[in-house]
Amino acid sequence: MTASSGGGFVRANGIDIHYVQAGQGAPVVLLHGGVVSTSPIWAHVPVSYAAHMRELARRYRIIAPDTRGCGKTVHDGGVVTFDQLADDVVALADALELDQPLIAGFSEGGITATIAAIRYPERFTGIVNDAGYDAFNAQAPVSAMMRQMLGGSPGATQADPAAFARMMTQDPQMSAMFELFKADQDGGQGQGHWEQYLRLAFHRLTQHPGYTFRDFAKITAPALLLVGDRDDYCTLEDGIAAYRQLPRGEIAVVPDTGHVITSAKIELTLAFFDRHVQAA
């Protein structure tokens, strides 16, 4: 079973959300990180869930949407906020008649999953945040890092696609990822959409989302934080601070792991799902 074994488009929260679907059983909404989408072209890139869909779908019904403005999900308005993305998730669940699904996300997807659980605590059976908790610390360096990456300088106020392209093409590995990114975004929404994606993402990724670790106390569902001990974005210290606010929290520190999705993280995610689906 692969990421292309099902899915399509569903009308939710005023837009047509594209999603892929695989597997059977309890539903899991799976949220991708920034730059990547649900496309299988990302299967060999370690910041994508694409390589892990088969394993996840052996035990669960996986519903993986493209974020608003990314991949094949079109956004025609202005900036895209994390509140919008969280509302999209809940609207998607409603449109697909998912009753209290599990939810998991990596990096940007982890931020969205967490905000959805803060805003709608009764809607989810369990939540996994993999490397997506840094944004909730207003003092974390991630905003400046994103301004440098997307805008070309730590003080940038808007995306600079040319600067992003120069940065990505300085290293052969990053250059290959950049080519995938352009092919994915332009293939989904037309020539040059990769530049528009950067403009849409810049706003939400370079400023505080309006929630702090204290808001984690509003998450009533069981929640697992996955922490790579070599992650340059999400520190172990921030992970512990976030964990201490969770009423039903768990934390797993994965050794010798940076800001990536690994098989060990997928195994921890599945074990967490198993425990809490059985307990439901």
What is the residue extent of each domain of the chain? 7-149+208-279
Region 262-268: mean pLDDT is 98
In the predicted model, what is the mean pLDDT of residues 37-64?
97
pLDDT digits (tens, 9 = 90+) for 109-125: 999 999 999 999 999 99
Mean pLDDT of the chain: 95
When pLDDT is cut at 50, 70 and 90, the band that residue 278 belongs to is confident
Whether 1 has a pLDDT exceeding 60, the answer reads no
User: Structure tokens of 238?
Assistant: 């921030």
- Is the pLDDT assigned to residue 146 strictly greater than 90? yes
Please give the pLDDT value at position 3: 38
Strands 102-106 and 61-65: unpaired
- Residue 279 confidence (pLDDT) above 90: no
What average pLDDT score do residues 48-75 get? Answer: 97
What is 7-149+208-279's CATH superfamily? Answer: Alpha/Beta hydrolase fold, catalytic domain (3.40.50.1820)
- Average pLDDT of the residues in 29-52: 97
Band the pLDDT of 5: cuts 50, 70, 90: low
Residues 27, 260, 141, 176, CA torsion sign: negative
Q: Quick one: average pLDDT of 154-179? A: 95
6 vs 107, residue with greater confidence: 107
235-251: per-residue pLDDT in tens? Answer: 999 999 999 999 999 99
Paired strand residues for 8? 19
Sheet holding 15-22, edge to edge: 7-12, 15-22, 61-65, 27-31, 102-106, 126-130, 223-228, 249-254
27, pLDDT greater than 50: yes
Note the pLDDT of residue 4.
Answer: 41
Q: Mean pLDDT across the stretch 182-202?
A: 97
25: alpha, beta or left, given left = phi > 0 and alpha = psi -120 to 50? left
Give the pairing type, strands 27-31 and 15-22: unpaired
CA distance 96 to 277: 19
Phi, psi of 23 (to 5 degrees): 90, 175
